[in-house]
Amino acid sequence: MSFQILGTGSALPARSVTNDELSAILDTSDEWIFTRTGIKSRRVCTTETLDDLAVEASRRAIEAAEVDPTELDLIVCSTTTGDHLLPAEACAVAERLGASCPAFDVSGACAGFVLALDVADGYIARGRARRVLVVAAEQMSRVLDWTDRSTCVLFGDGAGAAVIEAPDAPSAACAAGSTVASPAPNPLSMRFTTDPSVAVLNVPGVAGTSPFAEVPRRASALSMDGRRVFRFGVAAICDAVEAMASDAGVAVADIDHLVFHQANERILAAAIKRLGIDGSRVVRTLRDTGNISSACIPLALDRLARAGELKGGDLVALVGFGAGLDIGACLLRWK
d(CA 264, CA 150): 12
Q: Is 186 among the residues known to form the active site? A: no
C-alpha dist (Å) from residue 168 to 64, 65, 70, 174: 19, 15, 20, 12
Give the chain's radius of gyration (CA, Å): 20
Asked if 263 and 253 count as a contact pair (C-beta separation under 8 A), the reply is no
Q: How does DSSP assign 60-127, residue by residue?
A: HHHHHHT--GGG-SEEEEE-SS-S-SSS-HHHHHHHHHT--S-EEEE--GGGHHHHHHHHHHHHHHTT
d(CA 12, CA 302): 12
d(CA 140, CA 268): 21
Given 19, 77, 238, 261, which residue is catalytic? 261
Asked if 79 and 138 count as a contact pair (C-beta separation under 8 A), the reply is yes
Given 91, 110, 152, 330, which residue is catalytic? 110
Q: Is 261 among the residues known to form the active site? A: yes
d(CA 321, CA 329): 9
Catalytic residues: 110, 261, 291
